[in-house]
Amino acid sequence: MAPRLDFSDWWGKDRKKGTPVVVKMENPNYSVVEINGPDSAFRPVEKSRGKNAKQVTWVLLLKAHRAVGCVAWLATVFWALLGTIKKRLIFRQGVAVATEKLGKGKLVLKIIRVFLVTSLAILAFEVLAYSKGWRYFESANLHIPSTLDLQGLLHMVYVAWLTFRADYIAPVIQVLSQFCVVLFLIQSVDRLVLCLGCFWIKYKKIKPRIDGDPFKSDDVEAPGYEYPMVLVQIPMCNEREVYEQSISAVCQMDWPKDRILIQVLDDSNDESIQWLIKAEVTKWNQKGVNIIYRHRLIRTGYKAGNLKSAMSCDYVKDYEFVAIFDADFQPNPDFLKLTVPHFKNNPELGLVQARWAFVNKDENLLTRLQNINLCFHFEVEQQVNGAFLNFFGFNGTAGVWRIKALEESGGWLERTTVEDMDIAVRAHLNGWKFIFLNDVKVLCEVPESYEAYRKQQHRWHSGPMQLFRLCLPAIITSKIALWKKANLIFLFFLLRKLILPFYSFTLFCIILPLTMFVPEAELPMWVICYVPVLMSFLNILPAPKSFPFIVPYLLFENTMSVTKFNAMVSGLFQLGSSYEWVVTKKAGRSSESDLLAAAERDSKTMNQPQICRGASETELELLNQLKEQKEAAPKSVKKVNKIYRKELSLAFLLLTASVRSLLSAQGVHFYFLLFQGVTFLVVGLDLIGEQIS
């Protein structure tokens, strides 16, 4: 019962002065004002007392209209979501979907299913207890009646469950949650230090600089310009959508033609794509570009095997540097002139890495969320590590290597699916330094479908764990400084590659929903809300235009922790899925400037005589047949990606926990779990890949 407030003594001290006067106006538009004394006329009048019945009616109607509009909007959104789900389920029938290997990820799925079934059973008990009025047992200070006082078998079972929960389940969850919270705080401190380092770089304007004219000859007797020999490699595999634009961009780089050689390393197993790439190479060769086409008969080792085979050619010894571009990368013409000069008078420099820029970052919601992550990776992680440590992970493309550094570090190895990180770690152990150029950007694509993005993230998170197992003995026995060893082991591998996916999945996808059924192990508010929001703000700072997507970003990152955790476990324990290499699907997007440049080139070539290709008649006939087949081929039906069972299972687990939090009147927990569950549901049904602009 609420306490009674008695103001009689206080009110008696306030003696009224003067005679009360009541003024009544006949006009109904004016309200009745009561004057209690000479000072009452100067006191503020409450706004609510100045409203007449007509105004109150309009206010109520306006609020009712807003409430109806809100309900209608929620109903429309819910109906649209159900319609999309129904369409996905219907059109999914009869669609050929690539089957995964048996046993892949089944352990994680079984664990999630156990948690889901357990949570549903507990929820049934909680709902029954709520309806029977037993919810007061959640208070530890209240007396729990003895067995003789209880009435009914269900009541006894519920009390037994409360005792078992408090004595056995809650301590385990508390210990695990405290451990994950500690890891969460350590990772947050690391993220905060990186951001402070980035702010310091911006404030002090720290960046690698080029002194003087790097290409001017030092020989007084023979003045002029000297350009080093540069080898450019474009590895690709069945890249029908992007091969033409990448070859075109590389062939137009501003560098003396006699000082550069372009290798197109084609691992395609589709003969039609091979002929198309050969024709493109022949076209640029006819224009005077020093470019060659290479195709391996024995395709082993994926990208690492392709690069290793190309570096074994005899003519490679004549070149000093090698630039690598993936098939969807489009470097600017001045790329080599902005990167190669940093090697001059710096014999310890082994790698110059450029930043990625994305032509399709605004294509849909998924690409926007990827842009946030990758902007933070380049702007903060790569730039800070390059400026203060002279080491970071090679991104596999858009970089220039000193060939001597590659050879002394053992060359390309096929032992993991992250050959770029492998060569970077071995080069760092051999004493080579790296430079990151945040101002030099190379256009590329990000995956536009959840299926492609999921496979890419699986490879990116399973490979580092494989590499950590293989490189740990070499790191410990290397001759580099002790603090560099600690940075490699504890920060580069353990904290950012192992701990991050572990605590993200365990804390926010498993422990948090379970605490709704075990109130004794409830997480503090700053773990659920304040710190994650702060970290999300720090992540989104390098991409300020993405601030409107901060809430979807936070939810989607938790959702992706399932894939990252599964990949981390498979790589750490060398499961079969950790050795899979799937080429990321490309869409062949071009930037606006590229389209304008292509239009100008087409207009120029129309006024110029056509160049005769040095191809045989049989090759031309095959090319014509391929073009005819391409034109006559029916339009392919859009394939629908499969439904993801892990994400759907976790969606129902989180939604179940949100219902339990609603019964406990825990507002923040309810909204977080509800929105996170809906996000898992959307991703589980693969709706994130829709073209949401």
Q: With cut-offs at 50, 70 and 90, classify the pLDDT of residue 5.
A: very low
Q: With cut-offs at 50, 70 and 90, classify the pLDDT of residue 108.
A: low
- At 257, the amino acid letter reads K
* Closest C-alpha to 458, from 572, 568, 573, 302: 568
Please answer whether residues 258 and 226 qualify as being in contact, where contact means their C-beta atoms are separated by less than 8 angstroms.
Answer: no
Q: With cut-offs at 50, 70 and 90, classify the pLDDT of residue 643.
A: confident
Q: Which two tokens stand for residue 334?
A: 């001045």
For residue 616, what pLDDT is reported? 44
Catalytic residue, from 267, 328, 422, 686: name it: 267
Higher-scoring residue by pLDDT: 606, 546:
546
Question: Where in the chain are the domains?
Answer: 104-138+149-205+456-587+641-692, 230-446
- Cα–Cα distances in angstroms (integers) from residue 639 to residues 665, 688, 689, 692, in the given order: 43, 15, 12, 18
Burial of 558 (0-12, 13-18, 19+ CB in 10 A): buried
Higher-scoring residue by pLDDT: 61, 604:
61
What is the residue-wise DSSP string for 465-504?
Answer: HHHHHHHHHHHHHS-S-HHHHHIIIIIIIIIIIIIHHHHH
For residue 444, what pLDDT is reported? 94
Please answer whether residues 132 and 669 qualify as being in contact, where contact means their C-beta atoms are separated by less than 8 angstroms.
Answer: no
For residue 107, what pLDDT is reported? 65
31 pLDDT more than 70: no
Catalytic residue, from 266, 328, 420, 686: name it: 420
For residue 40, what pLDDT is reported? 45
State yes or no: is 267 an active-site residue: yes
For residue 430, what pLDDT is reported? 95
State yes or no: is 318 an active-site residue: no
Lowest mean pLDDT among 42-51, 455-464, 497-506: 42-51
Lowest mean pLDDT among 74-78, 370-374, 483-487, 496-500: 74-78
For residue 50, what pLDDT is reported? 53
Q: What is the pTM of this model?
A: 0.75
Q: With cut-offs at 50, 70 and 90, classify the pLDDT of residue 655.
A: confident
Q: Which two tokens stand for residue 610?
A: 């056509």
* 225-263 per-position pLDDT tens digit: 789 999 999 999 988 889 999 999 999 999 999 999 999
For residue 1, what pLDDT is reported? 43
Taking 3-state DSSP, the helix, strand and coil percentages for the chain, each rounded to the nearest 5, stand at 60, 10, 30
Please answer whether residues 550 and 557 qualify as being in contact, where contact means their C-beta atoms are separated by less than 8 angstroms.
Answer: no
- What are the residues whose beta carbons fall under 8 Å from the beta carbon of 283, sequence distance 6 or more? 613
Please answer whether residues 428 and 422 qualify as being in contact, where contact means their C-beta atoms are separated by less than 8 angstroms.
Answer: no
End-to-end CA distance of the chain: 54
Higher-scoring residue by pLDDT: 107, 96:
107
Q: With cut-offs at 50, 70 and 90, classify the pLDDT of residue 30.
A: very low
Alpha-carbon distance of 378 to 542, in angstroms, equals: 9
- Residues 544/549/550/554 CA torsion (nearest 10 deg): -140
For residue 197, what pLDDT is reported? 96
* 407-444 per-position pLDDT tens digit: 999 999 999 989 999 999 999 999 999 999 999 999 99
Alpha-carbon distance of 326 to 334, in angstroms, equals: 18
* 186-239 per-position pLDDT tens digit: 999 999 999 999 999 999 999 999 887 788 776 655 556 789 999 999 999 988
* 365-395 per-position pLDDT tens digit: 899 999 999 999 999 999 999 999 999 999 9
* Closest C-alpha to 421, from 440, 403, 399: 399
For residue 84, what pLDDT is reported? 64
Share the mean pLDDT of the chain.
Answer: 79
Percentage of the chain modeled with pLDDT above 70? 72
For residue 607, what pLDDT is reported? 45
Q: With cut-offs at 50, 70 and 90, classify the pLDDT of residue 613.
A: very low
For residue 605, what pLDDT is reported? 43
Q: Given this structure, which CATH class describes domain 230-446? A: alpha beta
CB-side neighbour CA atoms (13 Å) of 489? 15
Please answer whether residues 587 and 445 qualify as being in contact, where contact means their C-beta atoms are separated by less than 8 angstroms.
Answer: yes
Percentage of the chain modeled with pLDDT above 90? 45
486 pLDDT more than 60: yes
Q: With cut-offs at 50, 70 and 90, classify the pLDDT of residue 92.
A: very low
320 pLDDT more than 90: yes
What is the CB neighbour count within 10 angstroms for residue 517?
23
Alpha-carbon distance of 376 to 553, in angstroms, equals: 13
For residue 6, what pLDDT is reported? 46
* 469-483 per-position pLDDT tens digit: 999 999 999 999 999
∠ CA 680-681-685 to the nearest 5 degrees?
Answer: 115
For residue 676, what pLDDT is reported? 86
What is the pLDDT averaged over residues 165-175? Answer: 91
**Widest pairwise Cα distance in the chain:** 117
Please answer whether residues 436 and 392 qualify as being in contact, where contact means their C-beta atoms are separated by less than 8 angstroms.
Answer: yes
35 pLDDT more than 80: no
CA 256 centroid distance within chain: 39
Ramachandran sector of residue 272 (left: φ over 0; alpha: ψ -120 to 50; beta: rest): alpha
What is the pLDDT averaged over residues 448-466? Answer: 90
142 pLDDT more than 50: no
- What are the residues whose beta carbons fall under 8 Å from the beta carbon of 569, sequence distance 6 or more? 108, 575
